[in-house]
């Protein structure tokens, strides 16, 4: 398996700016599988960019999957993406086009639609 993702890490699974004991246990288990060669990378997904930043700072996480919208990208640009860059973590994005509604453009955009 190339990538094992711990799905939807919520703010309630953190203790301050670190993983809770339950989340830490899951990250450790996934890394054991990585050490055994069962998986290549350990990832985690979240809707929260604050949680994304914490995950990016965690040595047990290789990649972070984040909710990201081209129309509302400030949280990503200022919170989670800088943490991913600092820690050399790859990013997977979901909901980038607001369920395809942004394919036709956005009222605040001055450019043509992306498609």
pLDDT tens-digit readout, 2-26: 999 998 999 999 999 999 999 999 9
pLDDT tens readout for residues 85-104: 999 999 887 765 555 555 66
* pTM for the full predicted model: 0.80
The number of helices, as runs of H, and strands, as runs of E, in the chain is 4, 6
| Interacting residues of 9 by C-beta distance below 8 A, sequence separation 6+ | 23, 44, 45, 46, 51, 55
Rounded CA separation 10/79 (Å): 16
């Amino acid at each position: 398996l190339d990538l094992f993702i711990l799905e939807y890490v919520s703010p309630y699974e953190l203790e301050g700016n670190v993983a809770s004991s339950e989340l830490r246990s899951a990250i450790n288990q996934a890394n054991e599988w990585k050490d055994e060669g069962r998986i290549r990378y350990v990832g985690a997904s979240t809707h929260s960019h604050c949680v994304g930043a914490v995950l990016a700072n965690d040595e047990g996480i290789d990649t972070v999957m984040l909710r990201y919208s081209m129309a509302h990208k400030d949280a990503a640009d200022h919170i989670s993406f800088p943490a991913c860059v600092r820690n050399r973590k790859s990013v997977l994005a979901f909901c980038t086009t607001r369920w395809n509604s942004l394919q036709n453009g956005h009222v605040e955009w001055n450019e043509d639609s992306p498609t």
